[in-house]
Structure 1
């Protein structure tokens, strides 16, 4: 199952509470702007199956082109052109004495920052998840902050969405989320900004992302950030969803490698007690290898040579969030995928399995997050409060073909799950748990990994689900 399932369950429950009475939130947002009115800087409005405005709005926006990096507020950063444009240090404009809470080491870092233009979301949002792609040489790291504005005109605090570095050597900080961030209107739950009470409090109307680059004083090294973005959404409170009709992905299956997390049980318990909790990095490893990437033999030299599939151990080590104490931090997994040559990683939400079909047909696997009782997913043979798996295709009848890492061996990782059952456990925001109480669901969260230069068909499929 997923790393730190009980803790992720607490987070999911909080998100479910935040989603309560989302119909009221929708009414609030409708009163904030005329129906159908264009929102400056917003993506085109998406419509549902019946042609009506989408009742589960999702807005992913990313900054990734050279033109994107030219705008915003630079404080010691510079845009870098090329096949993969990015943002780097130009000069230090700040200094930070940072005591790493996970090592106790205090060090001085010089910094430069970039603050994005304001992103006005098309529909006031109850949640936001940021993600980023970056190269961080040893001795460098980045911090991503959310600077939001509520629908009542007030501002959020500067919320830290993550402190991240690719490495974990003596020169590096420990990558970490930051707990205990709240202002009484919203809170940060590991990797997710969430409105505390959507029925009483304001929603998120707009935001900026502030990116700060850090390095040792006097160093000439620099992080390079290629993509920075966020998914803002307002998913209604729902225990079930209408089943979608099989479409263009029916009968398509991608040749994604199959890896079991369970064969790593007991390995490297310092990373969330070993493989039984490694669904997220195991799923990430499968998709990274599908794209022909992966760690080198030199990078894997630290892994016990008797262990099968050492690349899964690598993924667990380098997605591990030292505050969350697990490998299930969603943006950290996307950032890890993007450490491999010419790869991108994005966290977003999708609306239905028809969205997944568009991506699968274009050759892009989808990693989904869901929770369920054993009785809710025929053939799984287990229940979970949070679990990741890689969707690799569809049967001719439209059922889901999933590489489910919660399997006893690589040979049995491929599973077929009933379409309607899977769609519900993935897209719902609330569910009845094993104790008969109410717990949360992810509302369609997924990881998308794809090349830095997608094919034209892949670009079209990504654009169709809001990722550009």
Structure 2
């Protein structure tokens, strides 16, 4: 199912349940409702049937700081703060599909990355970016691949696929992804490029367009842009990964329940029951003391508990996807709070333990039926939690914003079986949000030949 189709209804043992794709999608939410297998969205389908069992090809590459100079710029300048518009080299007329219907003209400048070669034919790619966009400025992020086959050994470049039109605020332009981009080479499932056909996509490029209202001198600032490319095995019944040294470590991440926000601001993904991603992101941002202040949150109804969750939901909302579960939009928001943030995929909980040892909690994407994850009390076709640590035997300690479907922050912290959790996590390709302060150093990669952070 294409992830851009946000909601559907399914019948479960005589009970109708609303399924919200990409976030908490309850498959068994009421007494008597039957457990069901996860209904995976397009982005969660790992189409790699020909992969050797267990092999996980993943490569993350980021451009930031001085490495931005490795790309080709047209009208941009690399500064100590990031990439900025130095001079306009073009214009773009854009009608915000969620705005007032008026066409507006923007000055543009562009940056194109060098070709990033992989040692495998990538099947999926997720781009993420850290930027600031003052006074009506915004950025557009695109990717293209280089595709080769036996019939076309020299290969060809695909078209440019739009991965995001992003701004840190929705006051001037509505951040959005773009539907309907599919062709013979690939398509975009909301925030994820997926290759099509028998050809191998052996390299890719990223392109970022910086935009400002025509005739002004404001500029967005791009601090970083990167992408995780992957080719993953099919199947989800894998042994638990080896212990990684974080046993007995639990980070003191605050606990917020999305269930406490049911009915709040339904214009953003139907309200709090669907806000697992936003709630998880809010927990991590607050863990690093980077959350919004009371003035920033003054628009939130003062009767609402944990208003930072409502604030986050608004600021990660994807207006085309009509949801708060866009992975890179969540990390882009976290970056506006002073964190370095990106989306990647891990190979195992062994890798995840390295982040916990470094003091970095991870937001993880997973799906499971009610009987697949002991103690959850629900099933989901797409959910986000915060991995905060491990018990002494290596089982996974999480902040689960679903909170056993009980609207209580006291129900958020829970420990899940290591093997069960790892298999549920594999449905998303073991996708994570990595958010950390600029003063902190990431752990060393365990796979230097294919680094995934």
How does the TM-score come out when normalised to structure 2? Answer: 0.87
Taking the aligned partners of 1:462 and 1:184, their CA distance within structure 2 comes to 35
Instruction: Confirm whether residue 412 of structure 1 aligns to residue 414 of structure 2.
Output: no
State the 1:148 CA deviation.
1.2
Partner of 1:130 in structure 2? Answer: 127
State the 1:186 CA deviation.
1.1
CA RMSD of aligned residues (A): 2.0
State the 1:123 CA deviation.
1.7
Instruction: Confirm whether residue 328 of structure 1 aligns to residue 328 of structure 2.
Output: no
Partner of 1:299 in structure 2? Answer: 296
State the 1:221 CA deviation.
1.0
Partner of 1:59 in structure 2? Answer: 59
Q: Which of 301, 309, 312 in structure 2 is aligned with 1:312?
A: 309
User: After alignment, is 385-394 or 178-187 more displaced?
Assistant: 178-187
SS of residue matched to 1:348: strand
Partner of 2:42 in structure 1? Answer: 14
Q: CA contact under 8 A between 1:378 and 1:417: conserved in structure 2?
A: yes
Q: CA contact under 8 A between 1:282 and 1:405: conserved in structure 2?
A: yes
Return closer, same or farther for 1:293/1:77 CA change in 2, 3 Å cut-off: same
Partner of 1:181 in structure 2? Answer: 181
Partner of 2:435 in structure 1? Answer: 449
Q: CA contact under 8 A between 2:174 and 2:319: conserved in structure 1?
A: yes
SS of residue matched to 2:331: helix
Pairwise mapping of residues 331-350 of structure 1 onto structure 2 (< 5 A)? Answer: 331-341=328-338, 343-350=339-346
Q: CA contact under 8 A between 1:162 and 1:176: conserved in structure 2?
A: yes
Greater share of residues in helix: 1
SS of residue matched to 2:414: strand
Return closer, same or farther for 1:322/1:209 CA change in 2, 3 Å cut-off: same
Taking the aligned partners of 1:97 and 1:443, their CA distance within structure 2 comes to 37
Q: CA contact under 8 A between 1:112 and 1:214: conserved in structure 2?
A: yes
State the 1:150 CA deviation.
1.1
Tell me the matched-pair count: 413
Q: Which of 377, 392, 397 in structure 1 is aligned with 2:393?
A: 397
Q: CA contact under 8 A between 1:346 and 1:449: conserved in structure 2?
A: yes
Instruction: Confirm whether residue 72 of structure 1 aligns to residue 71 of structure 2.
Output: yes
Instruction: Confirm whether residue 460 of structure 1 aligns to residue 447 of structure 2.
Output: no
State the 1:16 CA deviation.
5.7
Taking the aligned partners of 1:360 and 1:93, their CA distance within structure 2 comes to 45
SS of residue matched to 2:297: coil
SS of residue matched to 1:335: helix
Return closer, same or farther for 1:175/1:348 CA change in 2, 3 Å cut-off: same
State the 1:11 CA deviation.
9.7
Taking the aligned partners of 1:100 and 1:301, their CA distance within structure 2 comes to 26
Pairwise mapping of residues 360-375 of structure 1 onto structure 2 (< 5 A)? Answer: 360-375=356-371
Runs of 5+ consecutive residues of structure 2 not aligned to the other structure: 1-5, 8-18, 26-37, 150-154
How does the TM-score come out when normalised to structure 1? Answer: 0.85
Runs of 5+ consecutive residues of structure 1 not aligned to the other structure: 27-47, 49-53, 428-440
Q: CA contact under 8 A between 2:368 and 2:380: conserved in structure 1?
A: yes
